[in-house]
Amino acid sequence: MKNKKMIFAVAIVVILIIAIIAFVMVNKIQKSDEQKVHTNVENTESKNEEIELNKEQLGEIANYLNQSDNNGFLLSSYNSPSEIDLYYIISEPKFSVTEEEFTEYEQLASEEVTTGLYKATSEEIKNLLVTKFGAQFVDNMNTENCHYLEQNDSYYTLCGDDLHVDIVCTKGVKKENTYIVDYESKEKTGIYIKGRVTLADGYLFISNELEETL
């Protein structure tokens, strides 16, 4: 009889221990799930968080955009490399023709040129767009305002004006790995532009929206 009571008591104790362990495990699992949910919410909020750019950061971006080989990317609206107006990309000092190339163009195009002349091969343009956008390749290009000569697979632009526009960045935010920056011309005289450019890390161009041009 005593043995039966002892066995019964031990059984009760074992059951209680198992119940306590089960209760503790369930609580741990619930807390873990709650923590995961909380972490996911925090991560989502972090991804959607916009961090306002300070004066120093805006100045750094403005300096980048004012470089001659970047400035033309502010002079037309686009959402992809294929939409950008290449007239504004080619018409910059880097692509100025030599005297020999100037003469060659007049002969091949059968026209007299009285303005500045700029030239870029198809390969040069594609490489530039790949570099500036971080794209793997560029198939289509907006060459509507350029003159193409098949003889040397090159695009030419005729431009008598200096298209470079010094800008200042007025405000901007960083969201995840993207910079969204508002800008406008530094001076109110000459060419005036106002818009919003979107850049990826490394200041790779994503898009540009011109709000105002004069």
b/e burial code for range 165-186 (CB count within 10 A of at least 16 → b): bebebeebebeeeebbbbbbbe
For CATH 3.10.450, the residue range(s) in the chain are 56-67+164-214
> What is the pLDDT tens value at each position of the chain, 214 positions in all?
555 556 666 566 667 677 677 666 766 666 566 565 445 544 544 556 899 999 999 999 999 999 999 999 999 999 999 999 999 999 999 999 999 999 999 999 999 999 999 999 999 999 999 999 998 777 788 999 999 999 999 999 999 888 999 999 999 999 999 999 999 999 987 889 999 999 999 999 999 999 977 6
- Alpha-carbon span 63 to 70, nearest angstrom: 10
pLDDT of residue 47: 58
pLDDT of residue 35: 62
* 56-67+164-214 CATH: 3.10.450
pLDDT of residue 32: 61
Token pair recorded at residue 200: 């990826």
Token pair recorded at residue 185: 């011309």
Distance between terminal CA atoms of the chain? 106
